[in-house]
Structure 1
Amino acid sequence: MSSTDTPKRQADEFHNLDDGQGGIFRELAPGLTTRIFAGEQAMLSIVSIAPNAEGKLHAHPEEQWGVLLDGSAVRIQGGEEIAVKKGDFWRTPGGVPHTMRAGPEGARVLDIFSPPRPEYRVPGSGFGTA
């Protein structure tokens, strides 16, 4: 480590799903927000979806895994609509069109990307994909 590098404190590597703090904030779409935590080889995104809100159908080259943490939703993926409940998780290969529609109580999803999505390394809005 050079004298200009600042070592990362171990406390900076610990986070909590429920405290709403830290990460990179993005508004993905109306009623969809996320906090993003980027590492070297993987990235976590904690997505909050308002009741009955739906994201934009999109695809990206990175592999994505998702876990429904709270609420209920419909996962729209590869032309299918699949109802998911708390605790369900899924894999979305790179390039597969997908989105989520929350149930009447809303939903919270943990997404895991590998490799990290470059467009999610900065605050902003939108899914950052075509």
Structure 2
Amino acid sequence: MSVEVFDLNEVSGFKPVQGMDGRAVLGVHMQLTYVTFDPGAIVPTHSHPQEQIGLLIKGNATLLLDAGDVYLTELSSYSVPGDVRHGLIVGSEGAVFVEAFHPPRQDYIDAACGRSVIPFQ
């Protein structure tokens, strides 16, 4: 196996919901995703089998959880175990996140390849 270097400017983007733009870098067992959100964008409450760890680089947002909503500001990070329901409401400034998934999310891979997907179920 060899080392791969990626330029996110050359990685195919995908837009699973209105106001969201993602770019995924795939490893063998992990996925790193750079995501930008327009102000007020909403990711509906959903779950997926992948563990998800995220870091808010810029902006603010509210992480929606059954246990209670959490307000995120710049450099807030979070870890969501697989199969835990969660969603997101982006604040008025928009937001930039870096998120890691294990294992990789097939719906994001499909969307980046231009295949039709139904995200965030």
Q: Same fold (TM over 0.5)?
A: yes
Higher CA-based Rg: 1
Query: Of 108, 122, 126, which residue of structure 1 is paired with 2:96?
Result: 108
Q: How many residues align?
A: 118
Residue equivalent to 2:17: 29
Question: Equivalents in 1 of 2:118, 2:99: separation in Å?
Answer: 13
Question: Cα offset for 1:93?
Answer: 0.4
Question: Cα offset for 1:49?
Answer: 0.9
Cα distance change, pair 30–36 in 1 and its aligned pair in 2 (3 A): same
Q: Which runs of 4+ in 1 moved over 3 A?
A: 124-129
Cα distance change, pair 85–95 in 1 and its aligned pair in 2 (3 A): same
Matched ranges for 1:26-105 at <5 A? 26-105=14-93
For normalisation by structure 1, the TM-score amounts to 0.80
Residue equivalent to 1:128: 119
- % identical aligned pairs: 27
| Gaps in structure 1 of 5+ consecutive residues | 1-6
Question: Equivalents in 1 of 2:25, 2:6: separation in Å?
Answer: 10
Task: Give the RMSD, CA atoms, in angstroms.
Answer: 2.1
| Gaps in structure 2 of 5+ consecutive residues | none
Instruction: Give the residue type in structure 2 aligned to 1:75.
Output: L
